[in-house]
A and B are shown apart, each in its own frame.
Chain A
Amino acid sequence: MSIDRRKFIRLSGLTALGLAGASAGNVLSDNAVDSTEAPQTHAPLVGKRWAMVIDIRKCMAAPDCNECSKACHYVHNVPDFDNPKDEIKWIWKETFHHAFHDEGHEHIEEAIKHAKLPVLCNHCDDPPCARVCPTGATWKREEDGIVMMDWHRCIGCRYCMAACPYGSRSFNWRDPRPHIKEVRSDFPARMRGVVEKCTLCDERLARGKLPACVEACKEGALTFGDLEDPNSEVRNLLREHFTIRRKPGLGTQPEIYYIV
Chain B
Amino acid sequence: MLEKAFSGDKRYWGWIFALLAVIGLGFIFYLRQYAEGLTITGLSRDVTWGFYIAQFTFLVGVAASAVMVVLPYYLHDYKQFAKITILGEFLAVSSVIMCMTFIFVDMGQPFRIINVFLYPSPSSPMFWDTVSLAGYLVLNALIAHVMLTSERQSIAPPKWIKPIIILSIPWAVSIHTVTAFLYCGLEARSFWMTAILAPRFLASAFSSGPALLILLCLLLRKFTKFDAGKEPVQKLAVIVTYAMSLNVFFILMEVFTVAYSSIPHHTAHFEYLFLGLDGHSALAPWMWVSSALAVLALILLLNPSTRRKEGILVFACLTVFASIWIDKGLGMVVAGFIPSPLGTVTEYTPTFPELMISAGVYGLGLLLVTGFYKIALSVRKELPT
Contacts and interface: CB of A to CB of B under 8 A. Distances in A.
Interface of A: 14-15, 17-18, 21-23, 26, 84-88, 94, 97-99, 101-102, 128, 131-137, 153-159, 161-167, 170-175, 191-195, 247, 250-252
Given A86-B45, A167-B341, 13 more contacts: A26-B109, A132-B185, A133-B124, A136-B119, A153-B119, A155-B109, A157-B106, A162-B49, A164-B188, A166-B188, A167-B342, A174-B36, A193-B108
Contacts of A137: 115
Interface in B102-131: 103, 106-116, 118-119, 121, 123-127, 130
A26 B112 CA distance: 11
Given A134-B124, A157-B106, A193-B107, A94 B114 contact: no
B342 A155 contact: no
A18 B118 CA distance: 9
Contact of A165 (B45, B115, B188, B344): B188
A128 B187 CA distance: 8
Nearest to A137: B115
Nearest to A14: B118
Contact of B108 (A17, A22, A194, A252): A194
23 contacts: A14-B118, A15-B118, A17-B114, A18-B112, A18-B114, A98-B344, A99-B342, A101-B343, A128-B187, A132-B123, A153-B119, A155-B113, A158-B49, A159-B182, A162-B189, A164-B188, A166-B188, A167-B342, A173-B37, A174-B37, A192-B37, A193-B108, A251-B187
A158 B109 CA distance: 11
Contacts of A170: 45
B186 A163 contact: yes
Contacts of B119: 135-136, 153
Contacts of B346: 84
Interface string B1-44: 00000000000000000000000000000000000111100011
B193 to A, nearest CB: 10
Given A98-B343, A165-B187, A134 B127 contact: yes
Contact of A158 (B48, B125, B340, B341): B48
A175 B37 contact: yes
B337 interface: yes
B337 A162 contact: yes
B336 interface: yes
Chain B binding site: helix, strand, loop or mixed by DSSP? loop
Interface of B: 36-39, 43-46, 48-49, 103, 106-116, 118-119, 121, 123-127, 130, 182, 185-189, 265, 336-337, 340-344, 346
Nearest to A164: B188
A173 B107 CA distance: 11
Q: Which of A15, A87, A137, A158 has the most CB of B within 10 A?
A: A158
A167 to B, nearest CB: 5
B49 A250 contact: no
Given A163-B186, A171-B108, A194-B108, A131 B124 contact: yes
A88 B46 CA distance: 11
A181 to B, nearest CB: 19
B192 to A, nearest CB: 9
A131 B185 CA distance: 10
A159 B187 contact: no
A14 B44 CA distance: 33
Contacts of A94: 342
Contacts of A154: 108-109, 112
Nearest to B340: A167
Contacts of B49: 158, 162
A97 B45 CA distance: 19
Q: Would you list the 8 A-B pairs with minimal beta carbon distance, nearest first?
A: A156-B108, A193-B108, A165-B188, A173-B39, A21-B111, A174-B39, A134-B126, A135-B115
Contacts of B124: 131-134, 159
B37 A101 contact: no
Contacts of B342: 94, 98-99, 101, 166-167
A155 B124 CA distance: 14
A101 B341 contact: yes
Nearest to A26: B109
A195 B118 CA distance: 19
A162 B188 contact: yes
Contacts of B43: 173
Of listed A99, A136, A154, A191, residue having the most chain B CB within 10 A: A136
Given A22-B109, A98-B344, A155 B116 contact: yes
